[in-house]
Amino acid sequence: MRAVVQRVLSASVTVDGEVVGAIDGPGLLVYLGITHSDGDAEVAWIAKKIWDQRILEGELSASDVGAPILLVSQFTLYADASKGRRPSWSAAAPGPVSEPLYEAVGAELERLGAHVERGVFGAHMQVSSVNDGPVTLLLER
């Protein structure tokens, strides 16, 4: 499981002209990629890691200040662009595997106490954000 975590002042996701998820920060915009071997252990680990990273202003975590999180599915995090001009997506888990795990990460973040907004799994989305810092982390397990 891979997550790109960005510290933001605000972020939103639009699908077909409609805002489907938005946060007014400070908060975190999280792009989440899932591979074939991911399961419950990766869900628990990555949710806790996202929630507890001290990357907000003053070295605080989202858990310290109750910062909102916008979670967006991102299969392209598992792209292999090492050969040719067209990336391979074979390392990304297919929708029937990855969608429940994406939803489980959101649910686990909520269980930990986060306010979570979401994109729409598998949809063509427009993501807008105002990055703060900028601060961007890559988490992987």
What pLDDT, in 10s, does the model give residues 90-137? 999 999 999 999 999 999 999 999 999 999 999 999 999 999 999 999
Mean pLDDT for the stretch of residues 83-91: 95
Mean pLDDT for the stretch of residues 45-52: 98
Is the model's pLDDT at 25 over the cut of 90? no
121 as an active site residue: the answer is no
Q: What pLDDT shows up at residue 35?
A: 98
Residue in 87, 96, 101 with CA at minimum distance from that of residue 1 = 101
Residue in 137, 141, 67, 72 with CA at minimum distance from that of residue 102 = 72
136 as an active site residue: the answer is no
- Set 6, 35, 53, 75: catalytic member: 75
Kindly report the pTM of this predicted structure. 0.96
| Residues 129, 72 contacting (CB under 8 angstroms) | no
Across all residues in the chain, what is the average pLDDT? 97
Run of H or E including 100: helix 95-112
Of all residues in the chain, the percent with pLDDT exceeding 90 is 99
DSSP 3-state assignment of 139?
strand
For the chain, the domains span 2-140
- Set 74, 121, 126, 136: catalytic member: 74
Report the top-level CATH class of 2-140: alpha beta
